[in-house]
Structure formats: C-alpha cells, structure tokens
C-alpha cells in the first residue's frame, strides 16, 4: 500500500510518499514544492496543483493524507493555507485517490505517541520509523511524511501489527501500552529496570 502525505502551504508545500505492508514502511519520494516568491497568489496555487498532480500520477498512491487546517497566525494566513489545501485536495480528487484528513495533534499522537510533541520529536521519529540516515529535508517534507505515517498507523491492521510486535518484544510477553514502554528483546529485564536480577 502506498500513502501520499501532504503538508500544505502557500509558499512551500511538503509532500512525502511511503510504501508499507502495515508494519514496515519505506520512503518512495519526498520533498517540497516551493512557489515563486514574486508570483501572484493564483500563480502559486497553480504551481502547487500542477506539481502535486504530476507527483500523484507518478506515485499512484492508494490514499492521500493531508494535514487539516487547525490554526493560523491570522485570518489572512488561514485563508491562504485554506486555498493551498483546496488545490491539493483537488489534485487528489482529479487523480481518483481517496483523501484522509488529520489534525496536527492526531499526527503527533500517531507518530510519537503524544499529541503535544515538539516538531523536532516528530521529525526524529519519522527518521527512525523509515530507517533514514538523517531527518528528511526540508522540514515540510518530514512533516508530510509524518502525515502519511499517521494514516498508516491509524488503520486497524497497523495497530494490530504494532501491538503484536510490541508484545513479542516486551518483558515476559506482556503487551506494551505505549512506545515509551518498548524495550529491545535482547536487553535483560534487570538492566531495563535498573534493579538487580532476582535468582
């Protein structure tokens, strides 16, 4: 399954496509669409739409996940962001791909396990989840990949796979209730808890 994530913006729109079997993910493509600084606003929207349409045609994803409009600095910024989201969604609809929307808190919770995580935490987890050597650049691309990962992790089969993996790796086979409780299976229980081993 391929999921295409979009982090909309009128000046720079992040995108990232991942392929997954539900438990293991790898990156297909990521980057950012930078609009011309001296272009008019309609011209910027055209650039976003045209580039996304081309990327969607190349990647042929099974779904598009996009960050929902949650807040903006002011009304003008909110309107611009709304327009950018609109043309991004139009490109997905024209490509015949279903669209899924997630709030920033939902994305952070699905990737990090905490809805108020810092952006740097999200980006570091994106790097680890996708097995990358460094955080994707620019940050808009990392944010778009986080949206795609959020969608995958929100699916029932993904939650089951993750739970099974964490159960197998947790001490004495108990299911871990959070990513914070996960410990590699090779680490002795006594070392994990900082207590002397019981005979």
- pLDDT at position 135, please? 93
CA distances from 30 to 27, 127, 146 (A): 8, 12, 11
CA distances from 116 to 7, 39, 107, 110, 146 (A): 18, 35, 10, 11, 14
Please report which helix (H) or strand (E) contains residue 126, including its range.
helix 119-129
C-beta neighbour count of 162 within 10 angstroms: 16
Q: Looking at the predicted structure, is the pLDDT value of residue 115 above 90? A: no
Per residue in 18-37, pLDDT (tens digit) is: 999 877 899 999 999 999 98
CA distances from 151 to 74, 78, 125, 147 (A): 28, 24, 15, 6
- For the chain, list the domains and their CATH numbers: 2-154 (3.30.420.10), 156-199 (no CATH)
* Mean pLDDT, all residues of the chain: 81
C-beta neighbour count of 37 within 10 angstroms: 7
| Catalytic pick among 21, 43, 67, 134 | 67
Whether 143 is catalytic: no
- pLDDT at position 114, please? 82
Per residue in 159-193, pLDDT (tens digit) is: 434 443 434 434 444 444 444 444 444 433 333 34
Whether 134 is catalytic: no
Whether 58 is catalytic: no
- pLDDT at position 73, please? 67
Query: Tokens 């097995």 — which residue?
Result: 131
Enter the DSSP assignment of 172.
G
Per residue in 61-112, pLDDT (tens digit) is: 999 999 987 666 678 888 899 999 999 999 999 999 999 999 999 999 999 8
Order across the sheet with 12-20: list the strands.
Answer: 25-34, 12-20, 2-7, 63-67, 99-102
Whole-number Å distance between alpha carbons of 196 and 108: 36
Q: Looking at the predicted structure, is the pLDDT value of residue 142 above 50? A: yes
Q: Looking at the predicted structure, is the pLDDT value of residue 47 above 50? A: yes
Mark out the alpha helices in 34-103 (DSSP H runs): 41-59, 75-94
- pLDDT at position 33, please? 97
More confident residue, 12 or 195: 12
Judged on CB neighbours under 10 Å (0-12, 13-18, 19+), 54 is exposed
Whole-number Å distance between alpha carbons of 51 and 7: 14
The three-state secondary structure class of 186 is coil
Tokens of 160: 């089951």
């Amino acid at each position: 399954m391929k999921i295409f994530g979009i982090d909309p913006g009128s000046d720079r729109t992040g995108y990232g496509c991942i392929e997954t079997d539900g438990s293991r993910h790898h990156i297909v493509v990521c980057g950012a669409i930078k609009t011309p600084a001296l272009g008019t606003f309609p011209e910027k929207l055209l650039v976003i739409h045209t580039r996304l349409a081309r990327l969607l045609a190349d990647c042929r994803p099974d779904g598009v996940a996009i960050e929902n409009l949650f807040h903006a600095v002011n009304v003008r910024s909110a309107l611009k962001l709304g327009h950018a989201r609109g043309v991004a969604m139009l490109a997905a609809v024209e490509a015949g791909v279903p669209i899924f929307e997630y709030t920033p808190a939902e994305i952070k919770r699905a990737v990090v396990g905490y809805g108020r995580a810092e952006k740097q935490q999200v980006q570091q987890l994106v790097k680890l989840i996708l097995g990358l050597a460094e955080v994707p650049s620019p940050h808009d691309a990392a944010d778009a990949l986080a949206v795609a990962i959020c969608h995958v992790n929100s699916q029932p089969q993904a939650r089951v796979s993750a739970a099974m993996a964490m159960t197998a790796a947790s001490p004495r086979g108990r299911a871990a209730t959070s990513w914070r409780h996960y410990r590699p299976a090779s680490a002795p229980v006594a070392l994990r808890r900082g207590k002397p081993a019981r005979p």
